[in-house]
A = this chain, B = another copy of it.
Amino acid sequence: MMGGMAAGSKPLRSDAARNRDKLLVAATQVLAERGLDAPLEHIARRAGVSIGTLYNHFPTREALLGAVLPQRMAALDEITAAALAHPDPWAGFAGFLEGLFTLQAEDHSLNEALTQSFSLATDVSQACHRGFRDVERIIERARTAGRLRADFAPTDLVTLIWAMSQVIRESMETAPDTWRRFLAFFLDGLRAEAAHPLPQGHRSADR
């Protein structure tokens, strides 16, 4: 499952190891600032290294993302753990969402990564899928407690993440609290007592 990171690799020469670290630091910063398709040249420059060296260590952009993002996503683990530990299932669920989106708002790369997680490097999707188990438990717990509406499915959370990613992106500069207000509206629709029947199945394949 977890293997041991990049363990078992060949030992790097000292200068190479140093450069690799500088690249990871720079990449973390630049990606957080400019998103997942920040120019690789920027990252190399910020690391004080040539573009060729970047390609030496990370032959593709995905390889680089795979080295940076899972680490960033580790922050999510604390949040899911706290949510599960919360005595009130609904408060745990709501707190989880708040923590998740706070992270997204702080890190542009995380925001995009969560949105695109299924088309990304395997390392990244793995990190996503691993965490998803806990998320399902958070949802299930709030639902069986009768607080979260029964027809809310884990995949609906993916949709919410999509929605929030855009709200965060658009409002970040001018009114960075916007997402909290939006989330409050949405949460009010997720309470069990607020539930109205959802639109029926989509049998209109043609129009």
Chain A residues at the B interface, C-beta cutoff of 8 Å: 115, 149, 152, 156, 159-160, 162-167, 170-171, 175, 177-178, 180-182, 184-191, 193-196, 198-199, 201-202, 205
Contact = CB atoms under 8 A, between A and B. Distances in A.
A202 B189 contact: no
Nearest to A152: B185
A165 B163 CA distance: 8
Contacts of A166: 115, 162-163, 165-166
Given A166-B165, A167-B162, A188 B196 contact: yes
Contacts of A195: 188
Contact of A181 (B115, B181, B185, B199): B199
A182 B165 CA distance: 15
A75 B8 CA distance: 61
Contacts of A164: 163
A189 B189 CA distance: 3
A115 B165 CA distance: 13
Contact of A194 (B115, B175, B194, B205): B194
Contacts of A162: 166-167, 170-171
8 contacts: A115-B166, A159-B182, A163-B167, A181-B202, A184-B196, A184-B199, A185-B189, A185-B190
Contact of A167 (B159, B181, B202): B159
Given A152-B185, A188-B194, 15 more contacts: A149-B188, A156-B185, A159-B167, A159-B178, A163-B166, A163-B167, A163-B182, A165-B166, A180-B199, A185-B189, A187-B196, A188-B188, A188-B190, A189-B190, A189-B194
A194 B189 CA distance: 7
Given A163-B164, A202-B177, A186 B185 contact: yes
